[in-house]
Amino acid sequence: MEELILDKTQDETRQGEAYATTDLFQKKFERHFYIESYGCQMNFADSEVVASILQEAGFGPTRNVEDADLIFINTCSIREKAEQTVRKRLTNFKRLKRQKKSLLIGVLGCMAERLKSKFLEEEKLVDLVIGPDAYRSLPHLIEEAAGGQKAVNVLLSREETYADISPVRIDSNGISAFVSIMRGCNNMCSFCVVPFTRGRERSRDPQSIIQECEDLYKNGYREITLLGQNVDSYYYASSFESFPPITFANLLEKVAQISPELLVRFSTSHPKDISDEVLHTMAMHENICKYIHLPVQSGSSRVLQLMNRTYTREWYMAKVDRIRTLLPDCGISADIITGFCTEDEKDHQDTLSIMEYCKYDFSYMFIYSERPGTLAARRYADDVPEDIKKRRLEEIVSMQNKLSLESNQRDIGKSYKVLIEGDSKKNKEEWKARNSQNKVVVFPKENYTYKKGDFVTVKIADCTQGTLKGNIVAN
């Protein structure tokens, strides 16, 4: 069995996506770029920033890789498998280059940062290598690469937040958008390569965030997800002393106040940073979705310490209790790593039992993958045999499947106000929507005149492990 990843956002690619905005399509450009994104939501949001910079420089998007003068691949380094996928894609692109000599191929994102000019020197697979904080230099680097020079910029920054750049909403459904509120990460979790590839944590100017959210709302968007590696540590102190500093709870409230018709979500929370202030703010505003993604990583205090997560099993469980007290109807999901260095059967049982205790609605589950340069790679041996890692992952996945089904069964008979995202994939006579708890809800359109982006109340009649099924409740 391959590594089982249940996360749509972490390891899934969406291809040739820089096409969406219709006006961009209608515009005529002489040169075209094609971009493919891998990894987390932050990477997809970054590709929208890149598309904006490229558009300013006179490049139009294309969906068809054969029509491109420039091919970009926005990469992820979180697990080895993600890097292998990118290498395979690059080998494919190299073939295109043989047919079209002027074609330029660029690597963006975390893998560019991790491998730096190695890409140009050793592998000769690419013409440009650009790290996550260097996208403003793209137009200049493209010119350099076109002139046959080596084009590399992997400088990390302590300030860059791309605050003034309006992302070009690529591959958008016109209803939901991601808004990046901070970059980088200061938590040195021992397994994680992110602090090395995305640099130090910095928060974006709140004014520019609110402006972006207001514009989205005016343009018909009805759901915004505030993004950061660790959103709860958002903190912005203005250089003007008369303006008080803005915390994540303050920011959340400001975005929620744009309109009650605008849903607000956020991701990702570190258990150590999510505060009562944030939970109270969530409770006060109906349009802040009652859903928290709260990565646990392991249920064993001993392993958590080796992971440098800074909390114990008991502390995490108390945090979940607190969420359930202040927000009784809150959905909770987790990230879990299985087979971390020295993990034994007792540790594994602790993970299974914490999952049961927390009753996760869903989880994203991964086999530990050693990443060069991380604290774990330097200090601990990756000593859990592959077959044991796989068996433990299977057990974790079965546990989650059971919990997801039970969670959905508890919703039968309840009514939810949901946001219509579009047609259900399986049946065009049905809508697909999402409730506040981030669960997918499908229901027959019947004779109602609802459309994408509308809110509607649905009573749940049935479910599977992954979906709630219901019917519209007449208003």
- Interacting residue ranges for ligand SF4, rule: CB under 6 A: 185, 187, 189, 192, 194-195, 229-230, 270
Stretch that binds ligand 5AD, among 139-147, 171-179, 282-290, 367-375 (CB under 6 A): 367-375
Decide if residue 299 touches ligand 5AD (CB under 6 A): no
* Nearest approach, Cβ of residue 189 and ligand SF4 (Å): 3
Show contacts with ligand 5AD in window 318-347 (CB under 6 A): 335, 337
From residue 41 to residue 80, the character string flagging contacts with ligand 5AD as x (rule: CB under 6 A) and all else as - is -------------------------------------xx-
Binding status of residue 191 toward ligand 5AD by CB under 6 A: yes
Question: Which contiguous run of DSSP H or E holds residue 54?
Answer: helix 41-56
Q: In the set 59, 93, 368, 431, which binds ligand 5AD (CB under 6 A)?
A: 368
Is 145 a binding residue for ligand 5AD by CB under 6 A? The answer is: no
Give 304-347 as a DSSP string: HHHTT-S--HHHHHHHHHHHHHH-TT-EEEEEEEES-TT--HHH
Amino acid at 206: P
- Options 219-227, 253-261, 368-376, 414-422: segment touching ligand 5AD (CB under 6 A): 368-376
Closer by beta carbon to ligand 5AD, 40 or else 255: 40
Residue number with CB closer to ligand SF4 (136 or 272)? 272
How far lies 213's CA from each of 106, 168, 399, 434, in Å?
30, 14, 38, 20
Instruction: Name the 3-class secondary structure at 145.
Output: helix
Nearest distance from C-beta of residue 194 to ligand SF4, angstroms: 4
In contact, 225 and 44? CB cutoff 8 Å: no
Which residue, 187 or 401, has its beta carbon nearer to ligand SF4?
Answer: 187
Q: Longest Cα pair distance anywhere in the chain, in angstroms?
A: 65
Nearer to ligand 5AD, 195 or 453 (CB): 195
SS3 419: strand
Among ligand SF4, ligand 5AD, none, partner that 187 touches (CB below 5 to 8 angstroms by kind): ligand SF4
Q: How far is the CB of 41 from ligand SF4 (least distance, A)?
A: 12
Q: Which two tokens stand for residue 324?
A: 């359930």
Q: At what angle do helices 41-56 and 138-146 cross, to 10 degrees?
A: 70
Provide the b/e sequence for 150-162 (b: ≥16 CB within 10 Å).
ebbbbebbeebbb
Query: Which parts of 396-454 are beta strand (E)?
Result: 415-423, 430-434, 440-444
Let me know: does 60 contact 24? Beta carbons within 8 Å: yes
Q: Which is nearer to ligand 5AD, 169 or 389 (CB)?
A: 389
> Rounded to an integer, what distance in angstroms lies between the CA atom of residue 42 and that of residue 45?
5
* 192 contacts ligand 5AD (rule: CB under 6 A): yes
Which does residue 39 touch among ligand 5AD, ligand SF4, none (CB within 5 to 8 A, set by kind)?
Answer: none
* Least distance (Å) between residue 185 CB and ligand SF4: 3
Rounded distance, CA 264 to CA 262, Å?
6
d(CA 14, CA 11) in angstroms, rounded, equals 10
195 interacts with, out of ligand 5AD, ligand SF4, none, CB within 5 to 8 A per kind: ligand SF4
196 near ligand 5AD (CB under 6 A): no
Judged by the rule CB under 6 A, the positions of this chain that interact with ligand 5AD are 10, 78-79, 191-192, 295, 297, 335, 337, 366, 368-369, 371
